[in-house]
Structure 1
Amino acid sequence: MTEFKNSAVKSMVVMRKAFRTIDSRVSGTFRDFDLTPAQFSVLDVLYAKGPMRIGELISSILSTSGNMTIVIKNMEKNGWIKREVSDDDGRVYIISITRKGRNIIEKALPAHIQAVEETFSILTPEEQEQLIGLLKKFKTLNE
């Protein structure tokens, strides 16, 4: 096993391993409702924020997905979302959640939140706030 002398590299490795562990613990809630992580994220964002442009949706979702066009088309086929041309700009599509999609996310969300809360319960509320503060520092890299 390689010993890391560089604390930045070690931090990244530990953070990635932690993320994989967390992700594997909470992703079962998606599968229970026959959703992929990307589909769950799309429904979650549309449920919380309402209709939006495809670009806004992609930048708002928690999972990164290079195949978002396919995800959206499949979700539209399933009747979970609808895609309509914008009244303001005919080149832009607005994505919104349907009643069927709303029903799915209303069932899936409580189980997902419970799984996240159980997973993060290994940290105290103070440690969770500390973690949030530390991770938010990375946002400055994009500014």
Structure 2
Amino acid sequence: MLLISVDFDDTLIPWVARLNLEFTYLSNKKFREQHINLSKEQWIVLKYLNQQDGLTQNDLAFITHRDKTSMTRLINNMEKKGYIRREICEQDRRINHIFIKKSGRDILYQTVPIMTELIRMMQDGVSSDIIEETIKTLKKVQINLKQISEQTHIET
């Protein structure tokens, strides 16, 4: 039997993963209850496009930490729903720029109160100091992971 010196459940990774899964489940459930045809992942893409319209598909994949294949699938679904439109770059036809349409902006504005309330309820009873410190900690862990990834990439 392999002995692991650290109990994985006592590390940050499974807790962050569980939070993400639960938040995804709850936000998707809230959208369905309101008869809103949108997923949390699609909401995030709309949020970024609302902030900076015309991002490339690759930029969106990078920003949202998705692989190119799953981003293509997500963009295809959002385009079918009429939330976004895709424009091929004239200088480089391999590049797609993604633009939010009025229907996408409308559904984003309709869902912001739902997401805001869900986040408020999720953080209920947790002080802003603790939230701020937790975010700082998670950012530091993310930096550590990026450094490990870069070192691993160099060594292989």
When normalised by structure 1's length, the TM-score is 0.82
The separation in 2 between residues aligned to 1:76 and 1:20, in whole angstroms, is 25
The separation in 1 between residues aligned to 2:17 and 2:95, in whole angstroms, is 36
Q: Pick closer, same or farther for the CA change 1:54–1:19 going to 2, 3 Å.
A: closer
- Structure 2 residue runs of 5 or longer lacking an equivalent are 148-156
Residue aligning to 2:79: 76
User: Conserved in 1, the CA contact under 8 Å of 2:56 and 2:97?
Assistant: yes
Residue aligning to 1:142: 146
Identity over the aligned pairs, expressed in percent?
Answer: 24
Code of the aligned partner of 1:6: V
Residue aligning to 1:111: 114
CA drift at 1:9: 4.8
CA drift at 1:56: 0.3
The separation in 1 between residues aligned to 2:132 and 2:53, in whole angstroms, is 28
Q: Deviations over 1:2-38 (max 9, x none)?
A: xx96256521334433444444444433433221222
Residue aligning to 1:131: 134
Code of the aligned partner of 2:38: L
- Point out the more displaced range, 42-51 or 4-13: 4-13
SS of alignment partner, residue 28 of structure 1? helix
Higher relative contact order structure (alpha carbons within 8 Å, sequence separation ≥ 6) = 1
Q: How does 1:1-143 map to 2 (within 5 A)?
A: 6=6, 9-11=9-11, 12-31=13-32, 32=34, 33-61=36-64, 64=66, 66-140=69-143, 141-143=145-147
- Point out the more displaced range, 70-79 or 27-36: 27-36
- Give the total of aligned pairs: 139
Q: Deviations over 1:59-105 (max 9, x none)?
A: 2227x465221221121122110000113322211001001111110
Code of the aligned partner of 2:127: T
SS of alignment partner, residue 94 of structure 1? strand
User: Conserved in 2, the CA contact under 8 Å of 1:26 and 1:116?
Assistant: no
- Which of structure 1's runs of 4+ aligned residues deviate more than 6 A? none
- Structure 1 residue runs of 5 or longer lacking an equivalent are none
